[in-house]
Amino acid sequence: MLPRAPWHVRCCRCAAVRCGRILAALALVLAAACSSDHVGGNNAPGTVTLRLLLPSARSFCDTITACSGPVHISIGKESGTWLPRTPGPCAFPVPCANACTPLTCTAGLCQPGVFGLAVTNVETTWDGSYVEWSTCASGATCYNPRFVPPGRYVARLCATPGSLVVTDGADNQTCMPTAPEECVETTFDLPGPPLVEAALP
């Protein structure tokens, strides 16, 4: 039988083992925290409806151009760093899936041209979705759908004061702004309350 190591050697060995276990556990905690804060997944963490309350005594409007409407609501982890949202079926770029096959744009879904639109409601229901940009084999830009992890997020909700003006017949109206776009920001949790409202100041 080999002689037993002195007590101070045994204590150092025990301390090293304990230290190694503590460091390993700490590494797992840090990895999980980093993953939950910065990496999106493939499952929706929940849904939230974001609504901008507009003053009833004022009018708001927008201009729709070539099938791409205005962006009323932006969402991000922090103010100024907004998540890219999934384009509509009539928009470019295309999804990266299925060899970058373009989505089918249903007839009547998109109205080409430039026209004004009265804004009486600014609202969206968000399920945590966003997109990551990539490229097709041809080099064209495409996107992959992703979902954010649960956490606290910031929403920026905007509307442009203005009214509709008839320019060429009753069916052709444009938005005439009376002031710059007005916005308000609010924080919310996902998952959290199903409805988050913010009012223009």
CATH classification of 41-82+106-128+150-199 is 2.60.40, yes or no?
yes
131, β-bridge pairs: 145
Q: How many angstroms separate the CA atoms of 32 and 72, rounded?
A: 34
Q: Are strands 48-53 and 122-126 parallel, antiparallel or unpaired?
A: antiparallel
Where do the structural domains in the chain lie, given as residue ranges? 1-39, 41-82+106-128+150-199
**So what's the pLDDT on residue 113?**
72
**So what's the pLDDT on residue 142?**
92
**So what's the pLDDT on residue 104?**
79
pLDDT in tens, 63-105: 877 666 667 899 999 999 999 987 776 777 889 988 898 887 7
**So what's the pLDDT on residue 160?**
94
Residue indicated by tokens 């490229």: 135
**So what's the pLDDT on residue 172?**
75
**So what's the pLDDT on residue 173?**
83
pLDDT in tens, 111-141: 667 788 899 989 999 999 999 999 999 898 9
| CB-based contacts of 164, cutoff 8 Å, min separation 6 | 61, 116, 117, 118, 173, 174, 175, 176
pLDDT in tens, 10-55: 433 443 334 344 333 333 333 333 333 334 567 889 999 999 999 9
Mean local confidence (pLDDT), 178-194: 95
Residue 5 corresponds to which tokens in the numbers above? 């190591």
pLDDT in tens, 148-182: 999 999 999 999 999 998 876 666 788 999 999 99
**So what's the pLDDT on residue 66?**
64
Residue 167 corresponds to which tokens in the numbers above? 């320019």
**So what's the pLDDT on residue 15?**
39
Q: Cα 180 to chain center, whole Å?
A: 24
Q: How many angstroms separate the CA atoms of 166 and 161, rounded?
A: 17
